[in-house]
Structure 1
Amino acid sequence: MAKTPKGSGDPKRPDKPHDALFRQMMSHPDAVAGELRAVLPEEVAAQIDWTWMQPQSCSFVSAELRARFSDVLFATRWAGRDALVYVLLEHQRRSDPLMAFRMLAYVVRIWERHLETNPDEKRLPAVIPVVVHAGTDGKPWSHSVEVADLIDVEPAMAAALSGVLPRMGFLLDDLATVDAAALLARRPARVRVVLMLLKSAPGNQHLERDLSALIADLITLTSAEVDRVLEYILVVSDTVVGDLLPVIDQLGPEIKEAFVTTADRLRVEGRVEGRVQGLAEGRTAGRAEMLIELLSQRFGPVPTAVADAIRAQSSVRLQEMGRRVLTAASLDEVIAE
């Protein structure tokens, strides 16, 4: 069976790392606000109520496209009126020539949803469509951002029908055209992290260089966000894990432990290549021997069969048993399932 390339977006795979990272990080109002401030015209940004950004628990991307597109929707206030902000991440290899049409379809679905929940409304809220392009080929966006440019008519006919043909466009944040220094100037920290990783992590053999600039930001993330970042790094990059360790060491013992645990879990699930296997197995073996030593100090010599069983455990299971060592009254309590 042919091997599925990392980041290929096979919809049958349970893991969709780009989607998972984007939705985890961009579900925060401050993150979406930071993205909008970077792409909106100043006169529009000045009219948005940044203190009122409400995430909407919905997605307009179909399940079969979720491997290549991710989206978030926020309700806000714009110049005293209701407005909706729709941010779509496009992470396929090349820019999509029909993206303007896709965005029009998503905007219509958003309006339909709004009318379903507000059946007496006679007007539609403004929808601000934004596309974050993180193409895996590293090339800039190369297609139109307006629906009008997709309609196959003669220029003269298009001019004559200018009031009839749809002209909706979208705001484009093309990461291929934004250098690292500009991304590192974005606010807040989680926006810098997610955009830098989307831009630089896939297929990167020396990701440690880019991560070094994000150390202060990574420390500020929640544990759930850190776990998602670590998983994304391990799944999509081609950096040897040993090269990442000097950076991970600077993030503190808890994040380092999470990194090793995540590597071990992904290896067991078969979602990462052999570049992490030696590290994960080595760290797991070290934990097993340390646990056996602690058990022998507390409860006396550990039977050979028990020691062998401990060595066969996963890193996560060893952590669970390690937490029981100081409070357990017997060896059986430590190793109990």
Structure 2
Amino acid sequence: MTISTTSTPHDAVFKSFLRHPDTARDFIDIHLPAPLRKLCDLTTLKLEPNSFIDDDLRQYYSDLLWSVKTQEGVGYIYVVIEHQSKPEELMAFRMMRYSIAAMQNHLDAGYKELPLVIPIVLIHLKYEKNREDIGLFGI
């Protein structure tokens, strides 16, 4: 019997947990800022099959896309799990690209209006008391 291993076991476990609607709902409810949380009906979370991570970056990142009903229609909560030990300077730009890809998929599915896409980035970093460069999305 061959045992497969991953170089990022903690991230694999976290992604596995976030695939479950109840766990994802609890996580999002805790970490989503209140003004955004009020827009979303978290009881409608549905895991979508899409992934937007570039093939050459899959060893460092994994992602999950959840659709959710919002006050304005269908929206998405996009969770990216980063397998790196230091922040990426262009992460905000990368998240914008992925959010636009989610919007394009939404339009390709026949919707006529752009959806709300809320990106959440999970990174594992050593805690440093005065890290100003980490707070991309407030979590």
TM-score by length of 1: 0.36
Count of residue pairs the alignment pairs up? 133
Deviations 1:197-225 (A, max 9, x none): xxxxxxxxxxxxxxxxxxxxxxxxxxxxx
Cα distance in 2 for residues equivalent to 1:138 and 1:45: 26
Measure how far apart 1:14 and its partner are: 6.3
**2:12 counterpart residue number:** 20
- The corresponding residue for 2:122 is 132
SS in 2 for 1:58: coil
Aligned counterparts of 1:86 and 1:141: Cα–Cα separation in 2: 23
Deviation string, structure 1 residues 103-149 (Cα, Å, up to 9, x no partner): 0010111111112222xx331110011111212x444562563xxxx
Deviation at residue 80 of structure 1 after TM alignment:
4.8
SS class of match (1:38): helix
Percent identity, aligned pairs only?
30
Indicate the residue corresponding to 1:92 in structure 2: 84
Q: Does 2:12 match 1:41?
A: no
Matching residue's letter, 2:112: K
8 A contact 1:133–1:172 mirrored in 2: no
Matched, 1:71 2:63: yes
Contact 1:69/1:91 (<8 A) preserved: yes
> Deviation of residue 41 (structure 1)?
2.6
1:58 aligned partner: 50
SS in 2 for 1:105: helix
1:54 and 1:76 in contact (8 A); partners too: yes
Q: Which has the higher contact order (CA 8 A, sep 6+)?
A: 2
Q: How well do the aligned residues superpose, as a CA RMSD in angstroms? A: 2.2
- Supply the distance in 2 between the matched residues of 1:68 and 1:114 (Cα, whole angstroms): 26
Structure with a larger share of its residues in helix: 1
CA displacement at 1:61 relative to structure 2: 1.2
Q: Structure 1: how far apart are the matches of 2:25 and 2:79?
A: 11
Task: Give 1 or 2 for the bigger CA radius of gyration.
Answer: 1
Contact 2:60–2:82 under 8 Å retained in 1:
yes
Task: Name whichever structure is richer in strand by fraction.
Answer: 2
Q: Can you give the 5+ residue segments of structure 1 that lack an aligned partner in the other structure? A: 1-12, 146-170, 174-337
Q: 1:109 aligns with which of 101, 106, 110?
A: 101
* Distance in 2 of aligned mates of 1:87 and 1:19: 12
SS in structure 2 of the partner of residue 123 of structure 1: coil
2:63 alignment partner, SS class: strand
Q: Deviations over 1:177-212 (max 9, x none)?
A: xxxxxxxxxxxxxxxxxxxxxxxxxxxxxxxxxxxx
| Residue 58 of structure 1, CA deviation | 2.0
**Which residue type is aligned with residue 106 of structure 1?**
Y
Amino acid at match of 1:126: L
Change (3 A) 1:46 1:56: same
Q: Using the alignment, how far apart are the partners of 2:114 and 2:93 within structure 1?
A: 19
